[in-house]
Amino acid sequence: MSPEEACAVLRITLGADWGIVEKSRREIFQKSHPDKIRSLPSERRTALIEHARQANKAIHVLLGFRSQQNAITSPLPVAVEASSVDFRTGVNY
C-alpha cells in the first residue's frame, strides 16, 4: 500500500497533522465496533470490518512514511571537535 492509498483509506490528505490521522482511524474503528454493527446486514458488517483492517494497514504505512520523511528532513548531527575549553570560564587549557 502506498502512502497515497493509505490516505485514501483514512480519507485524509498526505501530510495531514498526525492528530487528524488518529482521529480518522478512531472513527473508522468506532464504526466497525461489534456492538454497533451487530444489527447490520452481513455484507455491510464485512465491509466495515475490512475497512477497519485496511485502516490499520494504512496507519502502519503512514508511520513508516512519516519516519522516512523525518529521517530525510532532519539535519545530520554535527560532529563536535573535542577541545579543552572550560565552558564556564571560556579558558582554553
Q: What DSSP string describes 74-92? A: SPPPPP-----EETTTTEE
- Burial of 77-86, coded b for 16+ CB within 10 Å and e otherwise, reads eeeeeeeeee
Tell me the three cell numbers of residue 36.
454497533
**Average pLDDT, stretch 48-53?**
90
**Average pLDDT, stretch 48-59?**
90
CA distance 64 to 81: 34
CA distance 16 to 56: 17
On the question of pLDDT at 74 being above 50, the answer is no
**Average pLDDT, stretch 1-7?**
87
